[in-house]
Structure 1
Amino acid sequence: MKDEQTEPAETVVAQRGLWFDEMQVGTVYRHAPGRTITEADNTWFTAVTMNTQALHLDAAFAATEPFGQRLVNSMFTLATLVGLSVSQLTQGTIVGNLGFSEVAFPKPLFHGDTLYAETRILDKRPSRSRPGQGIVTFEHIGRNQHGVVVAKAVRQTMVFHSEHDKKNPEVQV
């Protein structure tokens, strides 16, 4: 008779962000990969959001302005900065964004620049009105490929506690 060997249990790892109880104030996350911004990205975003600012669309006009070239739309920069953090921090664990308390663009981003992001957890507290959820304050910092800070934002979010996963085991992100 052969010895029967049992197969090891299949290990499944689902990509997700962090639960409220896994987040620690003061922790800094460096997100990868970065995102190289193309002319097409900037033109599409500017057009689809109805932002007709010539600094984003008109190369001849922008050449006569202080930076001498078109600027990446700052709202695209902000959206991409936050987006770069999603897979590591909030994918499938966020209830929703509550707001931004600070947004700044200290230097411009240009076509061909690569945006890199990092996030620091500034604060967290359990929600007083929504059991099993908590409010987390993130500080997002965006740098270009030279390490120059091009964007900063402080964002408040509502995040589920890990007990939410136990209540919804069939939901996979």
Structure 2
Amino acid sequence: MTDWTDPDTFTQALEQVETKEKGNCFEDFEEGQVIEHDPGLTLTSHGNEAWMSQTLNHDPAYWRQDAAEARDFDEPPVHPDYLTAATLGITVEDLSEKGGYFLGRTDVRFPGTPVYTGTELTVESEVVTKKSSSSRPNYGIVSWRTRGKDAETDEVLCSYERTNMIPRRQPLETDGGTAESAEAEDDEPDLPGEFLTPEGGYFEDFVDALEQAEGRDAAVAYRHERGRSQDAVTVAYLPLATLNTAKQHHNVDVMEDSPSGDIVTYGDVTRSTALGHARSDERTYREVGFDDESFHTFVTHGDTVYAFTRVLSAEDDGDVAGTVRFEHIAFNQDDEPVYSGTRTAKIRKREN
């Protein structure tokens, strides 16, 4: 009788059986294709609070009933960062579990009405474009428009467009040439002569700082003091809690021979941590949206995520809050940028 648990026997068996693979390759996507992602996810208080606490997003309106009501919420709502991460996490098995670089995301938008815990989230993605990669014949480039919806009302709760490199089932045949690239310039960076920091975190403080910088060789830009070192919770637990099954976040065995050499932090954890640092120095009223998001290098266990902010513009909407547009850059302990993106948010005004 065969002993299947005998090490030599089992090794031979493993070499002969077929692996039932997960995920899709570049060839499996077609422009215009709509993918319904299954399963969905119920947005829970535990999931919301775990995400916020571990990424240092401590806005009291998302934690306390009295603070929520003061901001015209019925109760503490789902944080936009958790909503975004959950929307993307559900898509991973169908779109990007095969691996490949996350090239960017833009046009991240939310509804005008708040989203509360208990909402059942369903997600669909449409293939916007697919094209070959001239520099990487083993990969193609795919962009999707993803929409997270309320399962009961069909209201779109979160939408964005994201682009990934996706492995090909069959490498693209090339002529052996290399992709053209622009020559690196040796010029010194054209930084402003001075950097101004807002006096506080209210809308008026950002307006004042921008007015001071106007007409001068100056920019409104500053770094945030807090940092968050990556641990087992941020690297593995948080993505898995959003149903993000990408092996990059939890399979040490597979990732040992990868370019990072280790499992890596989910991009939305890195992003949310940097935004949490920034929001701690603001009086945020509502999140409006995000654009031009890019991830620049790996964040792994033990790395520390810090944040830098540049204020781009401020517009008075004649309401309790004004609209401010920021550029946020997350960086690690070696001062290397790991994430960048622009953000539009309503920032509270001082009470008259």
TM-score w.r.t. the length of structure 2 is 0.42
Q: How far apart, in 2, do the equivalents of 1:15 and 1:147 lie? A: 32
Aligned mates of 1:133, 1:15 — CA distance in 2: 18
Partner of 1:99: 104
Q: Measured at CA, do residues 11 and 148 of structure 1 come closer, stay the same or move farther in structure 2, by a change above 3 Å?
A: farther
2:288 counterpart residue number = none
Deviations 1:25-57 (A, max 9, x none): 100001111100111111111110011112211
Q: Would you say 1:68 and 2:70 are equivalent positions?
A: no
- Whichever residue aligns with residue 59 of structure 2, its letter is Q
| Unmatched segments (≥5 aa) in structure 1 | 1-9, 165-170
- Please name the residue that 2:154 is paired with: 147
User: What secondary structure is seen at the aligned counterpart in 2 of 1:85?
Assistant: helix
The structural deviation recorded for 1:12 is 4.8
Q: Give the 3-state SS of the residue equivalent to 1:159 in structure 2.
A: strand
Counterpart in the other structure of 2:83: 77
Q: CA deviation at 1:13?
A: 5.9
1:84-125 superposed Cα distances (whole Å, 9 cap, x missing partner): 11112222x221211102100124321111111000000011
SS of the counterpart of 1:33?
strand
Residue type of the partner of 2:115? L
Separation (CA, whole Å) in 1 of partners of 2:21 and 2:136: 25
TM-superposed CA distance for 1:73, in Å, is: 1.1
Provide the C-alpha distance between the structure 2 equivalents of 1:11 and 1:143, rounded to a whole number of angstroms: 40
| 1:117-138 Cα distance to aligned partner (Å, 9 max, x none) | 0000000111121111111101
Cα deviations by residue, 1:67-91 (Å, 9 ceiling, x for unpaired)? 2211111111111111111112222
The percentage of counterpart residues that share the same residue type is 26
CA contact (8 A) 2:96 2:164 kept: no
CA contact (8 A) 2:127 2:144 kept: yes
List gaps (5 residues or longer) in structure 2: 1-15, 172-252, 255-352
- Residue in 2 that maps onto 1:163: 170
Task: Tell me: higher relative CO, structure 1 or 2? Use CA pairs within 8 A at least 6 residues apart.
Answer: 1
Q: After the TM superposition, which parts of structure 1 deviate over 4 Å for at least 4 consecutive aligned residues? A: 10-13
1:86 to 89, 92, 98: 92
Partner of 1:20: 26
Letter in 2 for 1:39: S
Bigger CA radius of gyration: 2
Say what the alpha-carbon RMSD is for the aligned residues. Answer: 2.0
